[in-house]
Each structure stands twice: as structure tokens, then as C-alpha cells.
Structure 1
């Protein structure tokens, strides 16, 4: 179980701090007690799905309910506090929670929904009379429902078992060199699996986790100045915020990064913000967890790759044509989800083939030294005059221009070419300047033929650019070419 090590840490050093927030410092002894009592409280309920929804901002209670549910053999479902009522309703219909722990303000925001709400302010009192001893569970219980929407905005629910995260914790030890001595700052929303995993894995390994209620560069600096932080979980947009704030971090820090691939310009700038940094980028997905890791040293020597396979991960490249090096990336490991949830009764549809391999339809290749290069997503691929073009390659080039804030490249139907390459740009720069910029590194057939400039990109609820919405706007002629 993902909480099975807590008793060991209580025996070794009960007063060691497990969780720190801006208002609380919680020892391993107290944390063990609270999560056990939360587990017994949930287990005392006679519910159909044994599923608890968590609609909370970052807090001690968020983690407590999530891990208490895991101890009880329940499934936890984090929801995003920024969702509209319609967005939340769609995900509730998929996940079917028996109750939702939330705040009075969020309950009022979604008052149209008929749910079994539980106010978080009553949690400490509710669990107080429950036992503090561990609950013995059968191994590999499902414990986590998450959502992935890709670029379409349509939610899809997946379910994960505890064994998969316990296996992932070995990657923390072997690939990121994390252990019980680390002080780990979690600046992002616990709704997102990257930050939730960072907190849960730190506690499993016996380290100390620090939770920020909300990310800002200034608030992050306060935590770094007030606490002995040695590890910082980030996504590239957070580092971009540090660039804009012009802050400098002088203490030694280890970055664990997920999200979009870093641009070469950002990698150069990062050493201007972090004076003494060890950076670990990983490539993965909600469905697969870790696939590859790019260490600090490899980032300097092989920056065009996403690194080598993580501990316990097998990678296959399956080629559609024998003469090409590029193929679809498949992975096999114990880190995979159980599957997607389908149907009214929460049936689970596996993502694995008969050999146990799964794919999220990324395309790429492995070189002779074992480094993986990701070219792009299969369904994003543009077929231009019979040539396969991956828009992600063009996007990376466009993003290296100093005045480009965001860039999206996609194929639009064309009677002659099959698909025409279109670039959508947010930034203060001209089409001619960008074409000139692209010619320096791209073949002529990869340079976009049409250009659109926007004030703002549309996003999915998970924060990704909504390519489907952009394509719809282009097809409806809501955007004008220049």
C-alpha cells in the first residue's frame, strides 16, 4: 500500500515532520494517526462505490482524505476547484463518488448539483472518535480515479491501483535519487497527478513534504527562504513565471519536471534563476506514469531527447514501415493504470495489448545508446503532399523565437496538398520574421504556409492548448489568415 511505510517512520522518529503548510507542522506520529482515523471513518460508511470525491484547494486535509481513502480500501477522486458546474458534473457522472469533501464556498458555487456534500471544516471532529490502528487490506486495491482529456476537452476517466504507484516510487529512488532526507516543496495544485504524486511519494519514502496553498513565484521564494527545501516539483510554466519575476534562487535545489518539453531557450535561462540546480525531466503520461528520465548531465549532452527508460520500464518502437526509424512508442511496466472507466457500472477497459504493452500514440525512436526521441503525437501528424510532418517539431522551433509566447501548428484540409500546415501564434512578431526564423533550421516543406495570430489560446480544463477548439475556429472562419 502507498501508506504502508508510515508505521516504520513513526517507530524510527515519531516527531519528524511529515507535512508542512503555511499554518501547520505535522509530525509522522500525528500524520499516521489522522490518516488511520480518516480511513476508519470512511470504512464505517456503507456505500455502493466506496469512492470519495475531493473538491478542495491545496491543504493538509486534501492529502489526509486522499491517503485515508487509500488506507480504507476506498477510491479517491480529486476534482479541480476551477471547473465550472457543467465540467464538474461530467466528471462526477464518470466517477460516481459516494460523497464529496469540499468547502462551503465551493458547495455554494455548485449548488445546482445534488450530491452528498461533506464540509471539510467538520472533518477533524468527525474522525476524532475513530480508532488509530492500521487497516489490513488486500493487495493492489484501486485507489485513484483521474481524468485525461487530451486536446479535445472531452473528459475520460482512468483508474489506478496502489501497486502501480508503489512501483513508481522505485523510480524516485533510482532515477531521481530521492530518499528520506529530502525536503520536498509542492507548489502546484494537488488535483494534478504530478504534484499529488510528488507529495504522496515523499511521504512513502519518509521525507518531509511542504504544501503551498497557491503558486506564485513570490510565495515559492518565501518557502525556499523559510525552510530547508532541497527538491522542487515544477512544470515549465512555473519556471517561465520565475523568469518574468526576475527572481534568483541561490540555494542548491533539485528540480523534478513534468509537462511540456523544455525549450532550449528556457534551459539556458534556468541557470540564471537557479544558481545551483540539478534538473530531472521525465517523459510520461497519466496512463503510463514514468516512461523515460533525462538527467541533469544528459540534458546538457542530449537535450534533443527525453532520456532513457526509467527503472522497470520496457520500451518498444513499432514501425509501420520497415525503412523508417520512427514508429509508435509502446511501454510495458508495473506503473500502468488499470484502464479507462466505461459504462454505468464503472467497468474497466484495459489499455494493454496481449503482451502487456500500452501506448498513448506518441511517435518517436530509440538510438543505439538507448536515448528516446519523441517526434509527436500520431493523431497530430500532418500529411502534406504525401509527406508525414509532426507539428511538435515545428512548434519547438517557433517557441525558440524570443517574441513567441505560445505556438500551435496543425494541418488543415487542402484540396491539392491533402493538408496545409498552419501556425497559430501568440506573440508580438511578424509572419515574415517567423518564416525567416524557421528557414534557419527547418526544411522548406516544414515551414507553415498559413499563419494566424491570436490574443489568447483556448485551453482544456487540464491546462493544455485545445487543438480541437482551434481547428473548429479555423474551419468556421472565426480566425483570419495573415
Structure 2
């Protein structure tokens, strides 16, 4: 059983002075990092706890990674919570994951301490941790769970999934083989660690012995200046960030690996990107929270086949099946099934029972549809459900529809995704209303009940919705109707 912190001891001995993490105001060596992780593990080990679960409600900084990886070393489970969630969303997820304690900043603590149990202030924890022993002896049990994340189910209510350390440490082979990363890499992490793409980027870099450069929050200017001023060799991004970089005038004049996940890029910005940044090599991968890495498209292959999401990653098998579970021929569309050691252990419910996502042979699906060509490249044709991918964030129409439909002057509502060159997709609300209902009224209404990124960006008012024969709103027709309306403007 591999643990995701197991390499720190040897890096602390072999290259004690090498920088492990570099932030705006701090640099920490592997020797110091190893000590911090050991102290954090000892501190957690000594705490009385039923669930051995720590909630992390912190900004992007060294303490976030320290709490996360200290928990891993102690055999605890870490649960990152998003600073953008409103109180209701936060409570829902705390209820699902039942942490023994939640570490947060003093400022957030003062806002939520009366509403949320077991919250503690980071500074106090760090003080207690600094008193702990600097060596940690403990053998992890087999395949220990270490990470709880959340996906919104199709109903829009969150589902909690749980991962084992083995699932991530096995996937570090993808970093080595598919992305050709190793201990000489200096890796920029410009996005929020609450997103597993960026968290994984940081954790895998530390496992391989590279240096992590961590931005507090994403800014195109910072990404460009850090890339040009520091010896950065790789950067993790989502397509939205690339769109932002294309708008800047500064260029990057050195070889750099760009590892992109999230929404599929549009061809226009890929061509622009290659023209603007000829030195950069692009690795796009397709994955899912539940399945982890699925396929990867390298720079050379991306030039030849730009509509594909690439070939299966190292250690991943992919099948496309029809409704009868038969494997289909090349170019035939079906549901994508995946088998690898990188998947989540399963979803877990309130009682802590884990429901696996795999069948008896170890295959699983997140209901994406697609096909494979004769060379073994995978193409995605769409989501089986209606999910909207907004700048790498999944948004579920059902959740927003539920809120808007409560408004007394809304007769019917459909939330659809409209393609957008910057975000990939933006949410649009299509409303059938009465009493001169306005966009302003609905936006105000949404602000009370939804996180800001879920509030629709565009609003359309119709006298009549298109319906399917079974009387449901015909989403595909509606999207076509609205898209053509938009393009005629």
C-alpha cells in the first residue's frame, strides 16, 4: 500500500534545502515540510476523535496543504470545503462528511462559530502543532480512505465521495508517464485547492519531489509574471484560465508544459494558444471526480486530431457500450465505461455506508456518451444528463430550476447551457412568466438562494415553451431556439 506522503522522508534527507512549496510570502524546504507534516500528524493522532475526519475551510496557502497532507500521514480523512459556499451549502456538506473538527481563519470563525459546531481557528492549531514531536512513526492500514469530495448529484443536492490513498498514489504514474513530470519540475498551481485538479497537481508534485508554486488566487497577470520570473516548467490550468491568458499582451518565451482539464476547449482558442505560445506543450486530459484520469491528448496528437480527448491514460481501460452493454464498433456512439485503480472507493451516505460505483468486473461510468476511432482515440459527444460545464465547474440545471420555480410569477423555467468562448458554457434561464416579471426581480430572488456562480448569466422570456411528446420541456429544441435567437442579434 503506497501512502501519498511516503516520499517526504527521503526528500528531506536527499535534498533537504530544495524548496517544496513557494508562495507569495513564504518558501518552505523539504526538510521543514517533512517536519511540519510529522508534527501535524502527531497533533491529529493525539486528538480524541470518533470520525478521524478534519474539515479544511482555508484559503490557498501552505496551511491548507499542511492540514490536508498531515491528515493523510496520520491516517485521517481530509475534507476541503469551498470558501464560496453559502451557509446552507456549507452546512449540507458538513452534515454529509461529519468532521471531528473544522480548521478555518479567525475571520471566518467569527462569522460561523454560532452556526457550525467543532470550528477551530488555524492560528491556535498551528501553535499546538509546533509543540508536537518532529518524527512520526505509524504504519498505515491497507488502502486507507483519506479524502472526501463532493459532486452535485443530478438532483442538484450534493453527494459525498470518498477516495483511498492508493487511488491517488497509483495515479502518480500518469504524471510520470503521460505528462512526463519528475522531481526536477517546478509546477505552478494557479487555481483553488478546493478543486481536485489543482489539489492533485500540488500533492502529486510533492510526492515526486518537485517544487510547487502556489498562487493565492488566479490572476492572469500573476501567472505570466511568475512563469517568466521563476524557473517554472509546468502549470495546471482549466480552459477558462487559458482564455484569460490569451487576452493578455505579455507572452511566455520558454518551454512549458500546460496540463489542462475541465471543459473541452474550443478549436479557435487552441489555434490562438499555439500561435501566441509556440514554446508551450499542451497536455489535455479528460477525467471525472469519480473516475480520475481517463484519457490524455499530448501536444503532437492534439495537432493531428483536435476534436478528440485523447487515448486512455497509463493504467486505464476504456470501453464504449450500447444499451445492451455490448461493446460497439469504432465511430459508434455509446456510453463510456472505465476501469482503473484510480477511481473513488464510492459514494457514502449519512450512515457512512460506502456505495461502490463499480460493477463486478471493476468497470464504472459517469454516463458520458462518446465513441472511439480506429486509432483508439476517444471522443465525447455529450453528457447523458443536462449538466452545464461553466469554466471547469459543473452546474446542474435542476438545482437552479428548483429555486426559480418557487417565484410566484414564474409559470415555467428551464435552465440551459449556451456555448461561450470564454467560459465554455454559461447558464441561461428561459422563463415563461406573468405580471410583467423582469430579469432584475429574478436576479434579486436568486441572490437570496443561490451561490453567485449559479445565478444565470442570460435571461430569456418566452410566451410558450417547446415540449416533447410526453409533455416535458424539449431541452434540445429550446437550446436551438435560444442559440439562433442569440446569433441573430
Structure 1 and Structure 2 fold alike (TM over 0.5): yes
Instruction: Report the alpha carbon displacement of residue 319 of structure 1 after superposing the two structures with TM.
Output: 1.1
- Unpaired segments of 5 or more residues in structure 2? 388-415, 431-464
Q: Specify whether residues 405 and 65 from structure 1 end up closer, same or farther in structure 2 by C-alpha distance, changes over 3 A only.
A: closer
| Equivalent residue pairs, number | 418
Contact 1:351/1:358 (8 A) holds in 2: yes
- Aligned partner (choices 410, 415, 421) of residue 476 of structure 2: 421
Structure-to-structure mapping, 1:322-337, within 5 angstroms: 325-337=332-344
CA distance in 1, matches of 2:29, 2:426: 43
Deviates more, 1:108-117 or 1:25-34: 108-117
- Report Cα offsets for 1:282-336 as digits up to 9, x if no partner: 0010000000000011111111111000011111111127787111111111000
Cα drift, residue 414 of structure 1: 2.9
Moved more, 198-207 or 138-147: 138-147
Provide Cα deviations, 1:31-69, integer angstroms capped at 9, x if missing partner.
Answer: 000001000100101111000000000000000000000
Aligned to 1:460: none
How far has the Cα of 1:218 moved from its partner? 1.3
2:369–2:380 contact (8 Å) kept in structure 1: yes
Q: Structure 2 CA distance, aligned partners of 1:78 and 1:306? A: 29
Identify the residue that residue 121 of structure 2 maps to in structure 1: 119
| Structure 1: gaps of 5 or more residues | 382-394, 425-447, 455-480
- Name which of structure 1's ranges 366-375 and 143-152 shifts more when overlaid on structure 2: 143-152
1:355 alignment partner, SS class:
coil
Shift of 1:131: 1.6
Structure 2: how far apart are the matches of 1:339 and 1:44? 29
For the structure 1 residues 347 and 105, does the alpha-carbon distance in structure 2 shift closer, same or farther, using more than 3 Å as the test?
same
- CA distance in 1 between partners of 2:42 and 2:373 (Å): 51
Aligned to 2:25: 23
Q: How big is each residue's C-alpha offset from its partner over 1:408-432, in whole Å with a ceiling of 9 and x where there is no partner? A: 79996334998363455xxxxxxxx
Q: CA RMSD in A?
A: 2.7
Contact 2:109–2:120 (Cα < 8 Å) also in 1:
no
Change (3 A) 1:108 1:245: farther
Give the distance between the partners of 2:477 and 2:159, measured in 1 at CA: 28
C-alpha distance in structure 1 between counterparts of 2:158 and 2:5, whole Å: 29
C-alpha contact (below 8 Å) 1:2/1:166 kept by paired residues: yes
Q: Does 1:165 align with 2:165?
A: no
User: How far apart are residue 129 of structure 1 and its match?
Assistant: 2.1
| TM-score, normalised via structure 2 length | 0.80
- TM-score for both structures, normalised by structure 1: 0.81
What corresponds to 2:16 in structure 1?
Answer: 14
SS in 2 for 1:202: helix
- For 1:271 and 1:253, the matched residues in 2 are separated by 12
Q: Indicate the residue corresponding to 2:188 in structure 1.
A: 185
Q: Distance in 1 between matches of 2:184 and 2:41?
A: 27
Q: Shift of the alpha carbon at 1:451?
A: 4.6
Corresponding residue number in structure 1 for 2:90: 88
Give per-residue Cα distances to partners, 1:63-114, cap 9 Å, x unaligned: 0000000000000000001111111000000000100010011123324423
Aligned to 2:307: 304
Match of 1:44 in 2: 46
Counterpart in the other structure of 1:318: 321
Counterpart of 1:65 in structure 2 is: 67
Q: Do the aligned partners of 2:466 and 2:478 also contact (CA within 8 Å) in 1? A: no
Distance (Å, rounded) in 1 between the aligned partners of 2:466 and 2:139:
56
Instruction: After superposition, give the CA deviation of every residue in 1:357-383 in whole Å (9 maximum; x if it has no partner).
Output: 0000011111221101111112249xx
Q: Does the CA-based 8 Å contact 2:284-2:296 persist in structure 1?
A: yes
